[in-house]
Amino acid sequence: MSEINEKRKVAIVTGAGQGLGLEIAKKFLSEEMKVVFVDVNQQLLNEVKNSADLQPYLSNSKFLQVDVSDVAAIKHSVNEILREWFRIDILVNNAGVRKETSIEDMTEEEWNKILSVNLGGTFFYSQAVLATMKSQKSGRIINISSYGGQAGPLSSGAHYCASKAGQLVLTKTFARSLASQGITVNAVAPAAIETPEMKNIDTNKLAKMKDSIPVQRFGREEEVAGIVSYLASDAAGYITGSTFDINGGLLMR
């Protein structure tokens, strides 16, 4: 079978060097997709590529160092994917940076950085894959937002929460615009999932956070990957513009 007729779906996962992005990317590989691991951190990409878990899947994996706040780099990556794999079926906008800066200490530089990665990256990666998804008359975009974008800070700053709230409205904006063209756009809003990033949170704060979660534990990466996998599937074709909470009951709405 020539590459161009290959039936495997092609998924791009941003921030796939560790944490939720890595778990989502591995889930897609286990579902027989081709997966593009996008991350700004080349060392993390190398570690993933060399890990035992990935060895059976290397022919279905591509590793691209991309800073999602760099629009030219995003466009370049999409062209590279299309040149080799011809299609793009799924985009997961997962790359994100969290900072716990107070309102008083916020600098313009830090504000711009967080907004351009978390929100700009989501907008411009989605924009970059649209022409391809429209020509295929199908596609799935899934934005990894946060409880912080719904309820305000748990362990983050105003910039992070604003970027995550922005992702929720981008989800609806893209969903409305693309609904009639076979493309769905949804968001997942996690809170307190155990990823490497959690090591940056003060241990006393973590203990208090855990006590406040109704299910009395932190979330697991595979629990988030499970929702993303469902939203990426053909079975979820009637769901668009929605936000799926995964927060142990911290926010019930």
Ligand X SMILES: NC(=O)c1ccc[n+]([C@@H]2O[C@H](COP(=O)([O-])OP(=O)(O)OC[C@H]3O[C@@H](n4cnc5c(N)ncnc54)[C@H](O)[C@@H]3O)[C@@H](O)[C@H]2O)c1
Q: Which residues bind ligand X (CB under 6 A)?
A: 14-15, 17-21, 39-41, 44, 66-69, 94-98, 117, 144, 146, 190-193, 195-197
CB count in 10 Å sphere of residue 113: 16
Q: Which residues are catalytic?
A: 160
Burial of 72 (0-12, 13-18, 19+ CB in 10 A): exposed
Q: Distance between CA atoms of 234 and 213, rounded to whole angstroms?
A: 32
Supply the minimum distance, in Å, between the C-beta of residue 15 and ligand X.
3
Residue placing its CB nearer to ligand X in the complex, 15 or 166:
15
Q: Between 192 and 231, whose beta carbon lies closer to ligand X?
A: 192
Report the residue number, 31 or 223, with the smaller CB distance to ligand X: 223
Strand partners, 186: 142
The DSSP code for 219 is B
Least gap, CB of 29 to ligand X (angstroms) = 17
Answer for the pair 124, 74: CB distance below 8 angstroms, yes or no.
Answer: yes
Residue with tokens 């993390």: 44
Specify the residue, 69 or 184, whose C-beta has the smaller distance to ligand X. 69
In whole angstroms, the minimum distance from the beta carbon of 174 to ligand X comes to 17
Helices 71-85 and 121-136: angle between axes, nearest 10 degrees? 30
Q: Please, what is the minimum distance in Å from the beta carbon of residue 45 to ligand X? A: 9
Residue with smaller CB distance to ligand X, 49 or 134: 49
CB of 2 to ligand X, least distance (A): 32
- Name all contacts of 83-88 with Cβ < 8 Å and 24+ positions apart: 84/3, 85/3, 85/10, 85/34, 86/3, 86/4, 86/10, 87/9, 87/10, 87/132, 87/136, 88/10, 88/12, 88/129, 88/132, 88/133, 88/136, 88/139
